[in-house]
Amino acid sequence: MSTITDAEFGRFQRFIHDAAGIALTPAKKAMVSGRLSKRLRELQLDSFTAYLALLDSDRESGETQFAIDLLTTNETYFFREPKHFELLGRLADASATRAQPFRVWSAASSTGEECYSMAMVLADRLGGEANWEVVGSDISARVLQRARFGHYPLSRAQHIPAAYKKRFCLKGMGAHEGTLLVDRELRKRVVFSMVNLNADLPRMVPFDVIFLRNVMIYFNGDTKREVVARVLSLLKPGGYFCIGHSESLHDVNASVEQVAPSIYRKQ
- pLDDT 10s per residue in the chain (267 long)? 678 999 999 999 999 998 888 889 999 999 999 999 999 999 999 999 999 999 988 766 688 888 988 888 667 899 999 999 999 999 999 999 888 999 999 999 999 999 999 999 999 999 977 799 999 999 988 899 999 999 999 988 999 999 999 999 999 999 999 999 999 999 999 999 999 999 999 999 999 999 999 888 888 889 999 999 999 999 999 999 999 998 999 889 989 999 999 999 998
Instruction: Examine the domain organization and report whether 141 and 211 are in the same domain.
Output: yes
103 in any annotated domain: yes
Residue 28 sits in a domain whose CATH number is 1.10.155.10
Helices vs strands, H then E, count in the chain:
10, 10
Q: Are residues 91 and 55 in the same domain?
A: no
Assigned domain for 1 exists: no
Answer whether residue 134 is part of any domain.
yes
Strands of 7-127, DSSP E:
102-106
* Residues 53 and 93 reside in one and the same domain: no
Tally of domains in the chain: 2
- 156 lies in a domain? yes
C-alpha 47: how far from chain center: 31
In terms of domains, do 86 and 209 share one?
A: yes
Q: Which helix (H) or strand (E) holds 18?
A: helix 6-20
State whether 66 and 93 are in the same domain. Answer: no
Residue 105 forms part of a structural domain: yes
> Do the domain assignments include residue 116?
yes
Q: State the catalytic residues.
A: 35, 138
Type of residue numbered 262: S
225: containing domain = 82-266
Identify the DSSP state of 214: S
Find the angle CA(233)-CA(230)-CA(196) to the nearest 5 degrees: 135
